[in-house]
Amino acid sequence: MTFNPFSSSNIQPWLPSDNNLLITNGDPKEFNNNFTLIAGTIYLVKWQIRNAIPTLSNIILFTASGGSGASTGSFCGIYNSAGTRIAISADCATQFQSGFVPITIPLLTPIALSGGFVWVAFVSNLAVTQPQIGTSLGNGNVTNLGLTAANYAFCVNGTGATALPATITPASNSLTGNQSFWAGGN
């Protein structure tokens, strides 16, 4: 038998640890497009927890272009599958104003994650322009194939928000259109 370097048994899948991450929704190189956030819209990105994470301190997003202007409420956080907010950042306007870089948004209190899934949430309210956040070229509606609203991988859960509420109603999630955002954590 000859060795085939391209055999599926020899190809190792990408893992978050390859990029010094604890969790993510995908290989960052697959997310090579961007979308300008709509002010006040709460965006959700699903993280499937396959291995317990004893301490998660930061959410990492990619800004293709920073927004501008003073913030009237720009935050990142994490919601559990029941819709309860379990972590939040301070106002992250400074990070949202950075362009073409991965941005690290510290959680106010580090958390542990285990089993099931959570959603990374973000909302931007900058006075002049909103940031462009990294997305995949794939269609967000397709990536939610077979999922109910309460389990969407990429979705929106409210508009006109100036903060991330203490709870959301997962059954009220709506499709994001073509946006499949990337989010990592460490």
Chain segment 92-107, per-residue pLDDT in tens: 999 999 988 999 999 9
Token pair of 93, please?
């306007």
Mean pLDDT of 67-79: 98
Chain segment 110-140, per-residue pLDDT in tens: 999 999 999 999 999 999 999 999 988 666 6
Quick one: pLDDT at residue 5? Answer: 54
Q: Please state, in angstroms and rounded to a whole number, the distance separating the CA atoms of residues 100 and 102.
A: 7
5 lies in some domain: no
Which is more confident, 10 or 17? Answer: 17
122 lies in some domain: yes
Quick one: pLDDT at residue 179? Answer: 80
Total tally of structural domains belonging to the chain: 1
Mean pLDDT of 36-53: 97
51 lies in some domain: yes
11 lies in some domain: no
3-state secondary structure of 30: helix
Q: Is 151 exposed, middle or buried (0-12, 13-18, 19+ CB in 10 A)?
A: middle
Task: Provide the residue range defining the domain that includes 144.
Answer: 16-185
Are the C-beta atoms of 174 and 54 separated by less than 8 Å? no
Give alpha helix (H) positions in 4-115. 93-96
CATH number at 75 reads: 2.60.120
2 lies in some domain: no
The predicted model scores a pTM of 0.92
